[in-house]
A and B are shown apart, each in its own frame.
Chain A
Amino acid sequence: MDVIGIISQLVFFLIAALTLAAGLATVLLRNVFHAGLALVGTFFGVAALYLMLEAEFLAVVQILIYIGAIAVLILFAIMLTRSLMKNEDSNINKQWAWVATVIVILFVGLFILILQVPWQHSGTAVYTDLVPHLGTALLTTYLLPFEIVSVLLLAALIGAFIIARE
């Protein structure tokens, strides 16, 4: 293991720790607004992981869409409804213990599964520009899903508008 490997592992663990910490904060923070901010942190961590995986385009999209659009949207929604949640005793509901049990089991199961499976690494290095290939794939192989998902997005926007309208 060379230096770059050690550094990259260190960077990875840092990012992973940050991401998981932000995620933990997202689900545990009592103040929803703070939780929303933590969510932004999580998104950043995930974007960093994409960069680690050499998916730069996706990382940019993650930041643009998730942080620029979704997270802001969520923060606006929180601000619109915040007054209600002020006097809450807890931001966690009554079944949280059950949920915790389930997710612990789930995590343990998944972890065992992940360790058990003999993963095959293709191990090819990628140092070229991926975006042109991605664009070609979207407008050729994935043209139909691409169009359908855009229609879906449009429908979702109209639906959201109609539902939220006064």
Chain B
Amino acid sequence: MLLVEQFTLLIPLFPLLAFAIIVLFTRNNNRLSSWVALIGIIAALAVSLGVFFEALAEGPELAQNPFYSAPIVWYPFGTATLNFGWLVDPIGSVMLFMVPTVCLMIFIYSTSYMKHSHVDEHGHHVSEDDPRYARFFAYISLFAAAMLLLVISSNLLQFFIAWEIMGFCSYALIGFWSFRGLKEHHIDDAQVGRARAAGIKAFLTTRVGDVLLMTGIIFLFITVGNLDFTQMFNPEGLNNMLLGEPPIGALQWPTLIALLIFGGTIGKSAQFPLHVWLPDAMEGPTPVSALIHAATMVSAGIFLVIRMFPLFVFDAQSGGFSMQVVAVVGAFTAIFAATMGLAQSDIKRVLAFSTISQLGYMLAALGIGAFVAGSFHLITHAFFKALLFLAAGAVLHATGTNDMFKMGGLWRKMPITFITFMIGALSLMGIFPFAGFWSKDEILLESLREGWFHGGAVALAQFVYILLAIAAFLTALYTGRQIFLTFFGKPRDEHAYEHAHESPASMWVPLAILATFTTFLGLWNAPFISAFFHFVGEGGLVGLAQPFEHAPFDDLANISVYVSLAIALSGFLTAYFIYGFRPVAAGQADPLARLGIIWRVLANKYWLDELYGYKINLDGTAQPGLLLRFVGALSRASYWFDRNIVDGLVNLAGWIGRMLARVNGWIDRNIVDGLVNTTGSVTGEIAGWWRLMQTGNVQNYALLAAAGAMAFAILFLLRSFT
């Protein structure tokens, strides 16, 4: 029987091929390039869906018996071999459903979004392609290829390679507008400067995490001896890790490696303290923000934790604390980012903080062992956050600004965008019956149950629950604020309002599709259906044979649902009272600014950019934070030390050597050479006289020989006679 599964490797290959074709052949033709990219992603989606449905047919057994093959021998080591191939387990198959779907929606959306309208000299509205239109599609195709490769990776190193390619794409796309041609009216110099700085900031910040991740991979390979997901977590290998000498104090190997790998997640998924790059990454085009910085790349960090989940579980079982770290970092980031999201005026930045916050939710869920809830939130979040970003993109595409205080009342102008944005926002807030409600409630329920009702109090889960509940309130608050500022009230900027119009079909159709998913996807794991849980959770994981426990749909669940809803609604109502009841007028400051010092802290993002990040200003300039300045000063001091003291010593040594050499040279030239020359010239002189003896006359020689012989003969005779 021909199984679609066998073509899994083709999935990343199609977008990669599209990338190659665009770069090599069609880059001068914008339409054709976008079509190539679309065909690439559609082909990938087709195969992905085939694999996904095949996986669904297999059911939970797939977890212990995944679609797996690693036929490509990449690098044979002494005992191990690095093989490339594919691995599709239930959660991987769900990712295979989510990633190309979202990608396709965003690709379609981009075909229109990457056009800019402006008023030409005759007063007509002209729509022009972005000058780097084809390049944009090449980059996002490459990105899609990398993301899909990451999802199907059978091997942690393969995973890491895809991870790094995504890092590059992210960098290139954040800085997509980091330079400006003569005819590019849609961006200004400040934007160019910001894009440039933001790209570098994103790349370097995630690099910190990537280095940790790479170190973790190296340690993992040293201790376990294998990087293949199917073989990495065998009990022997894991137990081997415990045998070795603990690397740092009481920190055991599994904890260290898990934490190092989690370091990669912190960087990629923008968790505290490496979250600083994500808000600035909003300088990229909105489809990029939706695709990379909301739906896929940042969730790759979560996916990494999912893939390495057996390691975390093993560490927890052997007394390590890596899962607690994951939970605490996730929960703290969830509330921390939500507070900052409250004080942003940029519509995309609010969503960026929201993304950070939601990613924190997922990690908190994984950290307390609520694997399925975290995974499900990963999927639903990808859909509704992509939807929100695309809708926000439609708004700013229409108004030409991303400052919410220059919007207002837009629901009349852009009804479809408004409705779809509302669906996404309600889902984000966790309002019934949208997808976010189901997944977020699941996380809250799990932490609630774990914290108080699962055989005793667990402080960690209680902490997580409380933080997440507050974060849920804040989420509803900042989302409500966003809705009221953007779509309701009176227009605060007439020009932007006049300019606004409903998006073309190629933009709103993807919105509608994503909104549909957002509306109904939650039912997949609704308590009374639990198909998602059945599929993803019941078989356990690759490398983790025990199935996840399915919580009963009991009174606690009911109560939790009401509590969650109440929290969300109260947040939304608070937003209404602040922003909706009396709409903010043009030129009026944000009502929350009355909080004073707290507001300033939030609006300035706790001054973390100034502390250790890289502060990017609106005008396109940027200053390094204190830490960077300190490092810079340290570098300069080292440089000075190197230049003046180390080099000085070296130069001194060199100077002494040169002087010695000079003395040596003098001795050599005048004394040694003198002796040699004297010997030579004396010999030459003597030879000059002596050679005159050589007359060349044979008779001369013969005479001398005869005389000599005679002299000897006489000598002997005289001796014999006396």
Which residues of chain A have a CB within 8 Å of any CB of chain B?
A: 93, 95, 98-99, 102, 105-106, 109, 113, 116
Contact = CB atoms under 8 A, between A and B. Distances in A.
B695 to A, nearest CB: 9
B710 A95 contact: no
B703 A95 contact: yes
A105 B710 contact: yes
B703 A98 contact: yes
20 contacts: A93-B699, A95-B699, A95-B700, A95-B703, A98-B703, A98-B707, A99-B703, A102-B703, A102-B706, A102-B707, A102-B710, A105-B710, A106-B706, A106-B710, A109-B710, A109-B713, A109-B714, A109-B717, A113-B717, A116-B721
Contacts of A95: 699-700, 703
B584 to A, nearest CB: 126
A93 B699 CA distance: 9
Contacts of B703: 95, 98-99, 102
A99 B717 CA distance: 21
B608 to A, nearest CB: 106
Nearest to A116: B721
Contacts of A109: 710, 713-714, 717
Contacts of B717: 109, 113
Nearest to A112: B717
Contacts of A102: 703, 706-707, 710
Interface in B688-715: 699-700, 703, 706-707, 710, 713-714
Nearest to B700: A95
B701 to A, nearest CB: 11
A105 B717 CA distance: 14
Nearest to A98: B703
Contacts of B707: 98, 102
Contacts of B713: 109
Interface in B283-312: none
A106 B703 CA distance: 12
B interface secondary structure, majority: helix
Interface string B455-481: 000000000000000000000000000
Contacts of A93: 699
Contacts of B710: 102, 105-106, 109
A101 to B, nearest CB: 9
B720 to A, nearest CB: 10
A54 B714 CA distance: 33
B407 to A, nearest CB: 118
Given A95-B703, A116-B721, 18 more contacts: A93-B699, A95-B699, A95-B700, A98-B703, A98-B707, A99-B703, A102-B703, A102-B706, A102-B707, A102-B710, A105-B710, A106-B706, A106-B710, A109-B710, A109-B713, A109-B714, A109-B717, A113-B717
B707 to A, nearest CB: 5
Q: Pick the 8 closest A-B CB pairs, nearest first.
A: A102-B707, A106-B710, A99-B703, A109-B714, A95-B703, A102-B706, A98-B703, A95-B700
A58 B717 CA distance: 32
Nearest to A102: B707
A99 B703 CA distance: 7
A156 B481 CA distance: 128
A109 B713 CA distance: 9
A99 B699 CA distance: 10
B437 to A, nearest CB: 121
A98 to B, nearest CB: 6
B404 to A, nearest CB: 117
A122 to B, nearest CB: 24
Contacts of B721: 116
A106 B707 CA distance: 9
Contacts of B714: 109
A106 B712 CA distance: 12
A10 to B, nearest CB: 33
B35 to A, nearest CB: 95
A8 to B, nearest CB: 32
Contacts of B706: 102, 106
Interface in B485-523: none
Nearest to A113: B717
Nearest to B695: A95
B606 to A, nearest CB: 111
Nearest to B709: A106
A126 to B, nearest CB: 32
A105 B711 CA distance: 10
A99 B714 CA distance: 17
A153 to B, nearest CB: 24
A106 B530 CA distance: 139
A91 to B, nearest CB: 13
Nearest to B718: A109
B150 to A, nearest CB: 92
A105 B699 CA distance: 18
A32 to B, nearest CB: 16
B500 to A, nearest CB: 118
A114 to B, nearest CB: 12
A21 to B, nearest CB: 24
B706 to A, nearest CB: 6
A57 B356 CA distance: 135
B116 to A, nearest CB: 103
Contacts of A99: 703
Interface string B662-700: 000000000000000000000000000000000000011
B710 to A, nearest CB: 6
Contacts of B699: 93, 95
A96 to B, nearest CB: 10
Nearest to A103: B706
Contacts of A113: 717
Contacts of B700: 95
A99 B705 CA distance: 11
Nearest to B714: A109
A99 B700 CA distance: 9
Interface in B441-465: none
B697 to A, nearest CB: 8
A117 B703 CA distance: 27
B621 to A, nearest CB: 101
A110 to B, nearest CB: 9
Nearest to B710: A106
A102 B704 CA distance: 10
A106 B710 CA distance: 7
A64 B198 CA distance: 122
A49 B710 CA distance: 27
A27 B706 CA distance: 18
B716 to A, nearest CB: 11
Nearest to A99: B703
A120 B511 CA distance: 147
Interface string B120-163: 00000000000000000000000000000000000000000000
Contacts of A98: 703, 707
Nearest to A101: B707
Contacts of A106: 706, 710
A95 B702 CA distance: 11
B717 to A, nearest CB: 6
